[in-house]
Amino acid sequence: MLRSAILPTIFALALHGAVVALLLHNWEQPLPDRVRVEPLYIQASVVNLPKPNVRPSPPKQKPPAQVAQKQQAGKPKKVKPAQAAMTESAQAAEPDQPSDPERTAIEVVTPQPDENDATQALLEADLMRAINAEQGARAAVTDDERAMAYIGQIQRDVIQNWSRPPSARNGMQAILKVFLVPTGEVVEVQIAESSGNAAFDRSAMVAVEKVHRFSVPSESAMFERSFREFTLLFRPEDLRL
Amino acid sequence: MNEQLSILELITNATVVVQLVMAILVLASVVSWILVFQKAFLLSSVRRMATTFENDFWSGEDLRALFVELDEGEAEVIGLESIFHAGFKEYTRCSQLYGTQVERIMQNVQRAMRVALAREEERLEAALPFLATVGSTSPYIGLFGTVWGIMNSFRGLAMVNQATLSVVAPGISEALVATAIGLFAAIPAVIAYNRFSAQVEIMMNRFETFSEEFSAILNRSIKEN
Protein backbone atom coordinates (compact mmCIF):
# COMPACT_ATOMS: atom_id res chain seq x y z
CA MET A 1 0.00 0.00 0.00
CA LEU A 2 2.74 2.38 1.00
CA ARG A 3 4.89 1.45 -1.93
CA SER A 4 2.07 1.92 -4.37
CA ALA A 5 1.74 5.48 -3.10
CA ILE A 6 5.28 6.53 -3.95
CA LEU A 7 4.94 6.90 -7.69
CA PRO A 8 1.62 8.78 -7.52
CA THR A 9 3.12 11.09 -4.90
CA ILE A 10 6.03 11.90 -7.14
CA PHE A 11 3.71 12.55 -10.05
CA ALA A 12 1.42 14.76 -8.02
CA LEU A 13 4.26 16.82 -6.60
CA ALA A 14 5.84 17.19 -10.02
CA LEU A 15 2.54 18.37 -11.43
CA HIS A 16 2.11 20.98 -8.72
CA GLY A 17 5.68 22.12 -9.10
CA ALA A 18 5.16 22.54 -12.81
CA VAL A 19 1.98 24.54 -12.30
CA VAL A 20 3.62 26.83 -9.77
CA ALA A 21 6.63 27.37 -12.00
CA LEU A 22 4.43 28.13 -14.97
CA LEU A 23 2.36 30.55 -12.97
CA LEU A 24 5.31 32.45 -11.57
CA HIS A 25 7.04 32.56 -14.91
CA ASN A 26 4.11 33.84 -16.91
CA TRP A 27 3.22 36.38 -14.31
CA GLU A 28 6.49 38.20 -14.53
CA GLN A 29 6.63 38.26 -18.30
CA PRO A 30 4.50 41.30 -19.15
CA LEU A 31 5.87 43.47 -16.36
CA PRO A 32 8.89 45.12 -17.97
CA ASP A 33 6.71 46.60 -20.74
CA ARG A 34 4.58 48.77 -18.57
CA VAL A 35 7.04 49.90 -15.96
CA ARG A 36 6.79 53.57 -15.22
CA VAL A 37 5.37 55.93 -17.70
CA GLU A 38 6.50 59.17 -16.17
CA PRO A 39 4.28 61.98 -17.23
CA LEU A 40 4.66 63.68 -13.90
CA TYR A 41 8.24 64.76 -14.03
CA ILE A 42 8.66 66.10 -17.52
CA GLN A 43 6.88 69.13 -16.21
CA ALA A 44 9.73 70.54 -14.19
CA SER A 45 12.06 71.00 -17.10
CA VAL A 46 9.41 72.41 -19.41
CA VAL A 47 8.85 75.42 -17.20
CA ASN A 48 12.56 75.97 -16.85
CA LEU A 49 13.38 75.88 -20.51
CA PRO A 50 12.72 79.27 -22.08
CA LYS A 51 15.89 80.18 -23.96
CA PRO A 52 16.45 83.87 -24.04
CA ASN A 53 20.05 83.38 -23.02
CA VAL A 54 21.09 82.52 -26.53
CA ARG A 55 20.17 85.93 -27.86
CA PRO A 56 20.37 88.78 -25.43
CA SER A 57 17.94 90.96 -27.39
CA PRO A 58 14.77 92.40 -25.75
CA PRO A 59 11.94 89.97 -25.14
CA LYS A 60 9.58 91.44 -27.76
CA GLN A 61 11.43 89.75 -30.59
CA LYS A 62 10.94 86.26 -29.36
CA PRO A 63 7.51 84.99 -30.10
CA PRO A 64 8.15 81.32 -29.25
CA ALA A 65 9.25 81.99 -25.70
CA GLN A 66 6.57 84.54 -25.10
CA VAL A 67 4.50 82.77 -22.54
CA ALA A 68 7.36 81.84 -20.36
CA GLN A 69 8.76 85.30 -20.47
CA LYS A 70 5.54 86.90 -19.51
CA GLN A 71 5.51 84.64 -16.58
CA GLN A 72 8.92 85.62 -15.44
CA ALA A 73 8.98 89.20 -16.57
CA GLY A 74 7.23 90.04 -13.35
CA LYS A 75 4.57 92.38 -14.65
CA PRO A 76 2.53 94.05 -11.95
CA LYS A 77 -0.49 91.93 -12.88
CA LYS A 78 1.59 88.86 -12.47
CA VAL A 79 -0.88 86.44 -11.07
CA LYS A 80 -2.75 85.77 -14.22
CA PRO A 81 -0.16 84.60 -16.72
CA ALA A 82 1.72 82.63 -14.17
CA GLN A 83 -1.48 81.06 -13.22
CA ALA A 84 -2.30 80.20 -16.78
CA ALA A 85 1.01 78.51 -17.30
CA MET A 86 0.78 76.59 -14.12
CA THR A 87 -2.79 75.63 -14.79
CA GLU A 88 -1.79 73.98 -18.00
CA SER A 89 1.17 72.38 -16.39
CA ALA A 90 -0.83 71.09 -13.48
CA GLN A 91 -3.30 69.48 -15.81
CA ALA A 92 -0.63 68.02 -17.99
CA ALA A 93 1.26 66.81 -15.02
CA GLU A 94 -1.52 64.87 -13.43
CA PRO A 95 -3.31 62.89 -16.07
CA ASP A 96 -3.71 59.94 -13.76
CA GLN A 97 -5.20 61.83 -10.90
CA PRO A 98 -8.65 60.43 -10.20
CA SER A 99 -11.21 62.83 -11.59
CA ASP A 100 -13.18 64.25 -8.75
CA PRO A 101 -16.91 63.68 -8.82
CA GLU A 102 -17.83 67.25 -9.65
CA ARG A 103 -15.18 67.89 -12.28
CA THR A 104 -14.35 71.17 -10.73
CA ALA A 105 -11.10 72.88 -11.26
CA ILE A 106 -9.18 74.23 -8.37
CA GLU A 107 -5.64 74.77 -9.32
CA VAL A 108 -2.86 75.36 -6.92
CA VAL A 109 -0.39 77.87 -8.17
CA THR A 110 2.92 78.08 -6.44
CA PRO A 111 4.40 81.52 -6.46
CA GLN A 112 7.23 82.32 -8.79
CA PRO A 113 10.14 84.31 -7.45
CA ASP A 114 9.81 87.97 -8.34
CA GLU A 115 12.15 89.19 -11.03
CA ASN A 116 11.39 92.74 -11.75
CA ASP A 117 14.36 93.60 -13.84
CA ALA A 118 13.25 91.56 -16.71
CA THR A 119 15.91 91.37 -19.36
CA GLN A 120 19.09 91.12 -17.36
CA ALA A 121 17.93 88.98 -14.52
CA LEU A 122 16.27 86.72 -17.03
CA LEU A 123 19.53 85.92 -18.75
CA GLU A 124 21.35 84.92 -15.65
CA ALA A 125 18.48 83.14 -14.04
CA ASP A 126 17.82 81.06 -17.10
CA LEU A 127 21.42 80.14 -17.49
CA MET A 128 21.59 79.05 -13.89
CA ARG A 129 18.43 77.16 -14.24
CA ALA A 130 19.52 75.30 -17.31
CA ILE A 131 22.66 74.21 -15.50
CA ASN A 132 20.79 73.28 -12.37
CA ALA A 133 18.21 71.44 -14.33
CA GLU A 134 20.82 69.33 -15.98
CA GLN A 135 22.80 68.71 -12.86
CA GLY A 136 20.11 68.04 -10.36
CA ALA A 137 17.60 66.54 -12.70
CA ARG A 138 16.99 63.51 -10.55
CA ALA A 139 16.57 65.41 -7.33
CA ALA A 140 14.29 67.91 -8.96
CA VAL A 141 12.23 65.14 -10.36
CA THR A 142 11.55 63.54 -7.04
CA ASP A 143 10.97 66.86 -5.32
CA ASP A 144 8.60 67.94 -7.99
CA GLU A 145 6.79 64.64 -7.86
CA ARG A 146 6.30 64.91 -4.15
CA ALA A 147 5.23 68.52 -4.33
CA MET A 148 2.68 67.46 -6.93
CA ALA A 149 1.32 64.83 -4.60
CA TYR A 150 0.80 67.44 -1.88
CA ILE A 151 -0.77 69.83 -4.34
CA GLY A 152 -3.16 67.13 -5.47
CA GLN A 153 -4.12 66.45 -1.89
CA ILE A 154 -4.74 70.14 -1.25
CA GLN A 155 -6.95 70.31 -4.33
CA ARG A 156 -8.99 67.36 -3.18
CA ASP A 157 -9.36 68.76 0.32
CA VAL A 158 -10.60 72.06 -0.98
CA ILE A 159 -12.94 70.50 -3.54
CA GLN A 160 -14.49 68.38 -0.85
CA ASN A 161 -15.24 71.38 1.27
CA TRP A 162 -16.41 73.71 -1.45
CA SER A 163 -20.13 74.17 -1.81
CA ARG A 164 -20.90 76.58 -4.56
CA PRO A 165 -23.66 79.14 -4.30
CA PRO A 166 -26.60 78.90 -6.71
CA SER A 167 -25.43 82.05 -8.42
CA ALA A 168 -22.23 80.36 -9.61
CA ARG A 169 -21.88 80.17 -13.39
CA ASN A 170 -19.48 78.49 -15.74
CA GLY A 171 -16.61 80.76 -16.57
CA MET A 172 -16.55 82.49 -13.25
CA GLN A 173 -13.25 82.35 -11.53
CA ALA A 174 -11.82 83.57 -8.28
CA ILE A 175 -8.19 83.47 -7.29
CA LEU A 176 -7.35 83.19 -3.63
CA LYS A 177 -4.05 83.69 -1.95
CA VAL A 178 -3.55 81.31 0.96
CA PHE A 179 -0.94 81.65 3.68
CA LEU A 180 0.08 78.65 5.73
CA VAL A 181 2.28 78.06 8.75
CA PRO A 182 4.63 75.03 8.63
CA THR A 183 2.12 72.84 10.43
CA GLY A 184 -0.18 73.31 7.46
CA GLU A 185 -2.72 75.47 9.23
CA VAL A 186 -4.26 78.35 7.33
CA VAL A 187 -3.35 81.69 8.81
CA GLU A 188 -4.78 83.99 6.19
CA VAL A 189 -6.85 83.88 3.04
CA GLN A 190 -6.97 86.81 0.63
CA ILE A 191 -8.90 87.31 -2.53
CA ALA A 192 -6.30 87.97 -5.18
CA GLU A 193 -8.76 88.26 -8.01
CA SER A 194 -12.46 88.44 -7.46
CA SER A 195 -14.97 86.68 -9.63
CA GLY A 196 -17.24 89.68 -9.44
CA ASN A 197 -19.77 87.68 -7.50
CA ALA A 198 -19.48 88.18 -3.77
CA ALA A 199 -21.27 84.95 -2.89
CA PHE A 200 -18.93 82.97 -5.10
CA ASP A 201 -15.83 84.58 -3.57
CA ARG A 202 -17.21 83.96 -0.14
CA SER A 203 -17.88 80.28 -0.87
CA ALA A 204 -14.31 79.86 -2.04
CA MET A 205 -12.93 81.45 1.12
CA VAL A 206 -15.19 79.34 3.29
CA ALA A 207 -13.97 76.23 1.51
CA VAL A 208 -10.36 77.02 2.34
CA GLU A 209 -11.20 77.95 5.92
CA LYS A 210 -13.18 74.79 6.38
CA VAL A 211 -10.20 72.67 5.47
CA HIS A 212 -8.38 74.57 8.19
CA ARG A 213 -5.32 72.37 8.04
CA PHE A 214 -3.65 71.20 4.86
CA SER A 215 -1.20 68.37 4.60
CA VAL A 216 2.15 69.90 3.72
CA PRO A 217 5.64 68.49 3.39
CA SER A 218 7.62 68.38 6.59
CA GLU A 219 10.87 69.55 5.00
CA SER A 220 11.05 73.25 5.51
CA ALA A 221 12.83 73.87 2.20
CA MET A 222 10.01 72.46 0.15
CA PHE A 223 7.44 74.09 2.34
CA GLU A 224 9.02 77.52 2.00
CA ARG A 225 9.35 77.13 -1.73
CA SER A 226 5.87 76.01 -2.59
CA PHE A 227 3.53 75.98 0.35
CA ARG A 228 4.21 78.98 2.56
CA GLU A 229 1.93 80.93 0.32
CA PHE A 230 0.16 79.77 -2.75
CA THR A 231 -2.73 80.77 -4.92
CA LEU A 232 -5.84 78.79 -5.55
CA LEU A 233 -7.99 79.15 -8.63
CA PHE A 234 -11.66 78.40 -8.19
CA ARG A 235 -13.57 77.82 -11.39
CA PRO A 236 -16.71 75.71 -11.76
CA GLU A 237 -16.68 73.73 -14.97
CA ASP A 238 -19.53 71.33 -14.63
CA LEU A 239 -22.44 73.72 -14.35
CA ARG A 240 -25.09 73.95 -17.03
CA LEU A 241 -25.12 77.74 -17.14
CA MET B 1 3.41 48.58 -3.43
CA ASN B 2 4.68 48.90 -6.93
CA GLU B 3 3.54 47.09 -10.00
CA GLN B 4 5.83 44.15 -9.38
CA LEU B 5 3.15 42.17 -7.62
CA SER B 6 4.06 38.60 -8.23
CA ILE B 7 1.82 35.85 -7.01
CA LEU B 8 4.56 34.76 -4.67
CA GLU B 9 4.63 38.19 -3.07
CA LEU B 10 0.87 38.18 -2.76
CA ILE B 11 1.00 34.89 -0.94
CA THR B 12 3.79 35.85 1.41
CA ASN B 13 2.12 39.16 2.23
CA ALA B 14 -1.25 37.63 2.96
CA THR B 15 -2.71 37.50 6.43
CA VAL B 16 -2.26 34.37 8.51
CA VAL B 17 -5.81 33.15 8.02
CA VAL B 18 -5.58 33.49 4.26
CA GLN B 19 -2.20 31.76 4.25
CA LEU B 20 -3.64 28.95 6.34
CA VAL B 21 -6.51 28.56 3.92
CA MET B 22 -4.08 28.48 1.01
CA ALA B 23 -1.95 25.86 2.75
CA ILE B 24 -4.96 23.65 3.40
CA LEU B 25 -6.04 23.96 -0.20
CA VAL B 26 -2.62 23.19 -1.60
CA LEU B 27 -2.42 20.16 0.66
CA ALA B 28 -5.86 19.03 -0.45
CA SER B 29 -4.86 19.47 -4.06
CA VAL B 30 -1.64 17.49 -3.65
CA VAL B 31 -3.34 14.66 -1.78
CA SER B 32 -6.19 14.49 -4.24
CA TRP B 33 -3.75 14.29 -7.14
CA ILE B 34 -1.86 11.51 -5.37
CA LEU B 35 -5.12 9.63 -5.04
CA VAL B 36 -6.01 10.34 -8.65
CA PHE B 37 -2.79 8.81 -9.89
CA GLN B 38 -3.06 5.89 -7.50
CA LYS B 39 -6.62 5.19 -8.55
CA ALA B 40 -5.81 5.49 -12.22
CA PHE B 41 -2.98 2.98 -11.90
CA LEU B 42 -5.13 0.61 -9.83
CA LEU B 43 -8.07 0.75 -12.21
CA SER B 44 -5.98 0.25 -15.29
CA SER B 45 -4.15 -2.71 -13.77
CA VAL B 46 -7.41 -4.27 -12.55
CA ARG B 47 -8.92 -3.88 -16.01
CA ARG B 48 -5.88 -5.35 -17.70
CA MET B 49 -5.74 -8.31 -15.32
CA ALA B 50 -9.46 -8.92 -15.68
CA THR B 51 -9.10 -9.08 -19.43
CA THR B 52 -6.21 -11.55 -19.33
CA PHE B 53 -7.97 -13.63 -16.69
CA GLU B 54 -11.17 -13.80 -18.69
CA ASN B 55 -9.19 -14.92 -21.69
CA ASP B 56 -7.60 -17.66 -19.60
CA PHE B 57 -10.91 -18.60 -18.06
CA TRP B 58 -12.77 -19.01 -21.34
CA SER B 59 -9.85 -20.69 -23.08
CA GLY B 60 -11.11 -24.05 -21.86
CA GLU B 61 -8.28 -24.53 -19.43
CA ASP B 62 -8.96 -26.70 -16.40
CA LEU B 63 -10.42 -24.49 -13.68
CA ARG B 64 -8.61 -26.42 -10.99
CA ALA B 65 -5.25 -25.71 -12.62
CA LEU B 66 -6.19 -22.04 -12.87
CA PHE B 67 -7.08 -22.03 -9.20
CA VAL B 68 -3.84 -23.69 -8.16
CA GLU B 69 -1.90 -21.23 -10.23
CA LEU B 70 -3.59 -18.33 -8.49
CA ASP B 71 -3.32 -19.88 -5.07
CA GLU B 72 0.39 -20.49 -5.31
CA GLY B 73 1.29 -17.35 -7.18
CA GLU B 74 3.28 -14.66 -5.43
CA ALA B 75 1.20 -11.68 -6.48
CA GLU B 76 -1.75 -10.41 -4.54
CA VAL B 77 -5.00 -11.72 -5.94
CA ILE B 78 -7.20 -8.80 -6.91
CA GLY B 79 -10.18 -8.06 -9.10
CA LEU B 80 -11.78 -10.80 -11.10
CA GLU B 81 -9.22 -13.35 -9.98
CA SER B 82 -10.08 -12.88 -6.33
CA ILE B 83 -13.75 -13.51 -7.04
CA PHE B 84 -12.90 -16.65 -8.93
CA HIS B 85 -10.47 -17.64 -6.20
CA ALA B 86 -13.02 -17.21 -3.40
CA GLY B 87 -15.75 -18.99 -5.33
CA PHE B 88 -13.65 -21.96 -6.32
CA LYS B 89 -12.13 -22.35 -2.88
CA GLU B 90 -15.58 -22.48 -1.34
CA TYR B 91 -16.71 -24.90 -4.01
CA THR B 92 -13.89 -27.40 -3.33
CA ARG B 93 -14.50 -27.22 0.42
CA CYS B 94 -18.23 -27.60 0.21
CA SER B 95 -18.16 -30.39 -2.33
CA GLN B 96 -16.10 -32.37 0.15
CA LEU B 97 -18.50 -31.55 2.98
CA TYR B 98 -21.87 -31.81 1.33
CA GLY B 99 -21.17 -34.17 -1.53
CA THR B 100 -23.97 -33.69 -4.03
CA GLN B 101 -26.25 -31.32 -2.18
CA VAL B 102 -26.35 -28.79 -5.00
CA GLU B 103 -28.45 -26.19 -3.22
CA ARG B 104 -26.25 -25.91 -0.16
CA ILE B 105 -23.03 -25.86 -2.13
CA MET B 106 -24.29 -23.20 -4.48
CA GLN B 107 -25.57 -21.10 -1.61
CA ASN B 108 -22.18 -21.10 0.06
CA VAL B 109 -20.30 -20.47 -3.15
CA GLN B 110 -22.51 -17.54 -4.03
CA ARG B 111 -22.15 -16.11 -0.57
CA ALA B 112 -18.36 -16.37 -0.76
CA MET B 113 -18.33 -14.64 -4.13
CA ARG B 114 -20.59 -11.87 -2.85
CA VAL B 115 -18.16 -11.28 -0.04
CA ALA B 116 -15.23 -11.16 -2.44
CA LEU B 117 -17.20 -8.82 -4.68
CA ALA B 118 -17.89 -6.50 -1.76
CA ARG B 119 -14.20 -6.48 -0.87
CA GLU B 120 -13.26 -5.61 -4.42
CA GLU B 121 -15.79 -2.84 -4.54
CA GLU B 122 -14.43 -1.46 -1.32
CA ARG B 123 -10.93 -1.55 -2.70
CA LEU B 124 -11.89 0.15 -5.95
CA GLU B 125 -14.00 2.81 -4.29
CA ALA B 126 -11.54 3.68 -1.55
CA ALA B 127 -10.52 7.36 -1.64
CA LEU B 128 -13.36 8.31 -3.94
CA PRO B 129 -15.19 9.99 -1.04
CA PHE B 130 -12.10 12.07 -0.38
CA LEU B 131 -12.08 13.29 -3.97
CA ALA B 132 -15.75 14.14 -3.67
CA THR B 133 -15.12 16.07 -0.49
CA VAL B 134 -12.25 18.03 -1.99
CA GLY B 135 -14.31 18.71 -5.08
CA SER B 136 -17.27 20.04 -3.22
CA THR B 137 -15.71 21.87 -0.28
CA SER B 138 -12.48 23.40 -1.50
CA PRO B 139 -14.23 26.18 -3.45
CA TYR B 140 -15.94 27.12 -0.22
CA ILE B 141 -12.70 27.05 1.72
CA GLY B 142 -11.13 29.25 -0.92
CA LEU B 143 -14.11 31.55 -0.79
CA PHE B 144 -13.74 31.81 2.94
CA GLY B 145 -10.12 32.88 2.51
CA THR B 146 -11.16 35.44 -0.08
CA VAL B 147 -13.93 36.88 2.03
CA TRP B 148 -11.60 37.12 4.99
CA GLY B 149 -8.91 38.83 2.93
CA ILE B 150 -11.34 41.30 1.41
CA MET B 151 -12.79 42.01 4.82
CA ASN B 152 -9.34 42.89 6.10
CA SER B 153 -8.48 44.94 3.09
CA PHE B 154 -11.64 47.01 3.49
CA ARG B 155 -10.97 47.43 7.16
CA GLY B 156 -7.55 48.76 6.22
CA LEU B 157 -9.25 51.05 3.73
CA ALA B 158 -11.35 52.60 6.47
CA MET B 159 -8.19 53.80 8.22
CA VAL B 160 -6.76 55.50 5.17
CA ASN B 161 -7.70 59.09 4.54
CA GLN B 162 -7.48 58.99 0.86
CA ALA B 163 -9.18 55.96 -0.59
CA THR B 164 -7.75 54.95 -3.91
CA LEU B 165 -8.02 51.76 -5.85
CA SER B 166 -4.35 51.03 -5.29
CA VAL B 167 -4.94 50.81 -1.55
CA VAL B 168 -7.52 48.03 -1.83
CA ALA B 169 -6.41 46.33 -5.00
CA PRO B 170 -3.44 44.35 -3.59
CA GLY B 171 -5.54 43.07 -0.70
CA ILE B 172 -8.33 41.93 -2.95
CA SER B 173 -5.94 40.40 -5.42
CA GLU B 174 -4.21 38.56 -2.60
CA ALA B 175 -7.54 37.33 -1.31
CA LEU B 176 -8.62 36.13 -4.72
CA VAL B 177 -5.56 33.89 -4.92
CA ALA B 178 -7.27 31.76 -2.26
CA THR B 179 -10.31 31.24 -4.47
CA ALA B 180 -8.08 30.46 -7.40
CA ILE B 181 -6.28 27.76 -5.44
CA GLY B 182 -9.60 26.39 -4.23
CA LEU B 183 -10.86 26.05 -7.78
CA PHE B 184 -7.56 24.61 -8.85
CA ALA B 185 -7.97 21.88 -6.25
CA ALA B 186 -11.68 21.35 -6.84
CA ILE B 187 -11.96 21.04 -10.60
CA PRO B 188 -9.62 18.06 -11.11
CA ALA B 189 -11.06 16.39 -8.03
CA VAL B 190 -14.62 16.60 -9.37
CA ILE B 191 -13.61 15.41 -12.81
CA ALA B 192 -11.62 12.53 -11.35
CA TYR B 193 -14.45 11.59 -9.02
CA ASN B 194 -16.98 11.40 -11.83
CA ARG B 195 -14.66 9.51 -14.10
CA PHE B 196 -13.54 7.01 -11.50
CA SER B 197 -16.99 6.31 -10.10
CA ALA B 198 -18.20 5.57 -13.63
CA GLN B 199 -15.24 3.26 -14.22
CA VAL B 200 -15.71 1.50 -10.89
CA GLU B 201 -19.35 0.92 -11.72
CA ILE B 202 -18.42 -0.59 -15.07
CA MET B 203 -15.86 -2.84 -13.39
CA MET B 204 -18.36 -3.95 -10.77
CA ASN B 205 -20.91 -4.83 -13.43
CA ARG B 206 -18.29 -6.88 -15.16
CA PHE B 207 -17.44 -8.69 -11.91
CA GLU B 208 -21.07 -9.42 -11.16
CA THR B 209 -21.65 -10.79 -14.61
CA PHE B 210 -18.62 -12.98 -14.22
CA SER B 211 -19.70 -14.29 -10.83
CA GLU B 212 -23.11 -15.21 -12.25
CA GLU B 213 -21.51 -17.01 -15.15
CA PHE B 214 -19.09 -18.76 -12.88
CA SER B 215 -21.76 -19.98 -10.49
CA ALA B 216 -23.75 -21.27 -13.47
CA ILE B 217 -20.71 -23.22 -14.60
CA LEU B 218 -20.15 -24.66 -11.12
CA ASN B 219 -23.80 -25.58 -10.82
CA ARG B 220 -23.66 -27.43 -14.10
CA SER B 221 -20.46 -29.25 -13.19
CA ILE B 222 -21.91 -30.40 -9.83
CA LYS B 223 -24.94 -31.81 -11.58
CA GLU B 224 -22.82 -33.53 -14.21
CA ASN B 225 -20.87 -35.28 -11.50
pLDDT string in tens for chain A (241-residue length) = 566 788 889 999 999 999 888 877 765 555 455 544 444 444 444 455 555 555 555 555 445 544 444 444 444 444 444 444 444 444 444 444 444 444 455 555 554 545 455 566 667 777 777 777 767 665 666 777 788 888 888 888 888 888 888 888 777 888 888 888 888 888 888 888 888 888 888 888 888 888 888 888 888 888 888 888 888 888 877 665 5
Residues 33-62 of A with CB under 8 A from B: 34-35
With 0-12 / 13-18 / 19 or more C-beta atoms within 10 angstroms meaning exposed / middle / buried, residue B89 is middle
Of residues B6, B33, B34, nearest to A24 (C-beta): B6
pLDDT of residue B3: 45
Cβ–Cβ contact A2 with B under 8 A: no
User: What's the gap in Å between the CA of B61 and the closest CA on chain A?
Assistant: 32
Mean pLDDT score of chain B: 87
pLDDT of residue A226: 80
Of residues B7, B35, B36, nearest to A24 (C-beta): B7
Q: What percent of chain B has pLDDT above 90?
A: 45
Q: Which residue of B has its CA nearest to A22?
A: B7
Report the range of poorest mean pLDDT among A88-97, A120-129, B20-29, B79-88: A88-97
Do the Cβ atoms of A24 and B184 come within 8 Å? no
A7 CB neighbours in chain B (<8 A) are 37, 41
Distances (CA, A) of A235 to A89, A159, A173, A194: 16, 11, 5, 11
Of residues B3, B34, B162, nearest to A9 (C-beta): B34
User: What's the gap in Å between the CA of B88 and the closest CA on chain A?
Assistant: 27
What is the tens place of the pLDDT at every residue in B154-199? Answer: 888 887 777 777 777 878 888 888 999 999 999 999 999 999 999 9
DSSP string, A174-201: EEEEEEE-TTSBEEEEEEEE--S-HHHH
Cβ–Cβ contact B177 with A under 8 A: no
A27 CB neighbours in chain B (<8 A) are 6-7
CA distance B57 to B85: 12
Residue B130 has pLDDT above 70, yes or no: yes
CB pairs under 8 A between A and B: 45
Do the Cβ atoms of B33 and A153 come within 8 Å? no
Cβ–Cβ contact B96 with A under 8 A: no
Q: pLDDT-based confidence at B112, cuts 50/70/90?
A: very high
User: What's the gap in Å between the CA of A204 and the closest CA on chain B?
Assistant: 22
Mean pLDDT score of chain A: 68
Distances (CA, A) of B35 to A3, A34, B26, B199: 13, 43, 14, 15
Do the Cβ atoms of A31 and B3 come within 8 Å? yes
Model pTM score: 0.53
pLDDT of residue A67: 46
Do the Cβ atoms of A4 and B26 come within 8 Å? no
User: What's the gap in Å between the CA of A164 and the closest CA on chain B?
Assistant: 23
Report the range of poorest mean pLDDT among A166-175, A197-206, B45-54, B136-145: A166-175
Asked if B176 and B11 touch (Cβ cutoff 8 Å), the reply is no
Length, in residues, of chain B: 225
Do the Cβ atoms of B6 and A5 come within 8 Å? no
| Positive/negative CA dihedral, A167, A173, A175, A178 | positive
Distances (CA, A) of A138 to A67, A110, A133, B6, B176: 26, 21, 9, 28, 38
